[in-house]
Homo-oligomer: A and B are copies of this chain.
Amino acid sequence: MDKSVLRRGSVVPCGSGHHRPLSLVRAGSAPLHRQISDALRLAMEAGRWQPGDLLPSEAELRSRYGVSRGTIRQALATLRAEGAIHGSRGRPAVVRAPSLSQPFNELLSFSAWARSLGRSPSARVVGLEERRADSTMAAALGLDEGSPVIHLVRLRLADKEPLMLERTTFPPQVGSRLFHMDLEGHSIYESLAAQGIVVASARQRIDAIGAPTTDARLLGVASRSPLLRVRRIAFGPDGGALESADDRYRSDRVSFTVDNSAGRAPLVRGLIQAVS
């Protein structure tokens, strides 16, 4: 009798056969169209629909959520403006690509970043020593030239695969704490935060360099192969510099994304590419 309805609906393998309207709060909570767009976005991020799949038709969504068509269209319009779906006339909306939404904090802490991608981060200390600041480093950290600084070099790994070579210079009041810390297991940022040292702002510069031979050997790539370099100065709440870092990523495995919607804040993220 209504096989025609099932024809389009069968595109979506709806595992749980809910027939009553899905849970929507109609009282003082968020607007209905927002609840619906959030739910759809969540389902897309969870991989319930693959890129290229067709969303359920507006009529089916309407009956599934028990709202009018205008409300459904408003929810879909939100997803369309975000670039998550892509509609044309006469056919249900097409799922565009995995939507990405993660906090920005990741770009600061390798450990937090790797964990957010489902990898287990670790580190291998290559060197830890006290130095005297040269002129550029002194300027970066706001110190006098020749004053002592602590220089730390670590190879950063995710699932035991080397991804990044990290050279960090700390002013004494921060760096002196490193000698009593576990530099290979725990996140430096998290250990410092436990001692009340928090990063309030950071300025990072991204460019590309050819790998020097020593860097190449540590990272396991060919000499002179391209690396993504991130140079960062992190500041505390009082504006004092907490570190000056030079991170070099294997560019065949790591890339950064900038997700930008007009009028909204840009979302900067690191990615680890799939092994080809």
Q: Which residues of A contact B (CB under 8 A)?
A: 51-52, 77, 79-87, 94, 96-97, 100-101, 103-104, 107, 139, 142, 199-210, 224-228, 233, 235, 237-241, 251, 254-268, 271
Q: Which residue of B lies closest to A79 (CB)?
A: B239
Can you give 10 A-B contacts (C-beta < 8 A)? A86-B241, A96-B239, A103-B266, A203-B259, A206-B256, A207-B254, A208-B251, A224-B224, A226-B227, A266-B266
Closest B residue, CB atoms, query A229? B208
CB within 8 A of A203: which of B203, B208, B257, B262? Answer: B257
User: What is the copy number of this chain in the assembly?
Assistant: 2
Give the nearest-CB partner of A250 in chain B.
B208
A84 to B266, CA, bound (A): 16
**Which residue of chain B is the closest to A265 with respect to CB atoms?**
B265
CA distance A258 to B205 in the complex (A): 6
- Given the complex, which residues of B lie within 8 Å of A237, measured CB to CB? 81
A87 to B, closest residue via Cβ: B239
Seed contacts A81-B200, A206-B256; 19 additional CB < 8 Å A-B pairs? A82-B239, A83-B200, A83-B201, A84-B239, A87-B238, A103-B266, A107-B260, A199-B262, A200-B262, A201-B259, A202-B258, A203-B259, A204-B259, A205-B271, A206-B257, A207-B255, A265-B265, A265-B266, A266-B268
Contact A208–B224 (Cβ < 8 Å): no
> In the complex, which residues of chain B have a beta carbon less than 8 angstroms from the beta carbon of A261?
83, 200-201
Report whether B104 and A262 are in contact in the complex, using a CB–CB cutoff of 8 Å: yes
A228: chain B residues at CB < 8 Å are 206-208
**For the complex, what is the distance from the CA of A202 to the CA of B260, rounded to whole Å?**
5
Is there contact, CB below 8 Å, between B139 and A52?
yes
Given contacts A142-B96, A224-B224, A226-B226, contact A83 B262 (CB under 8 A): yes
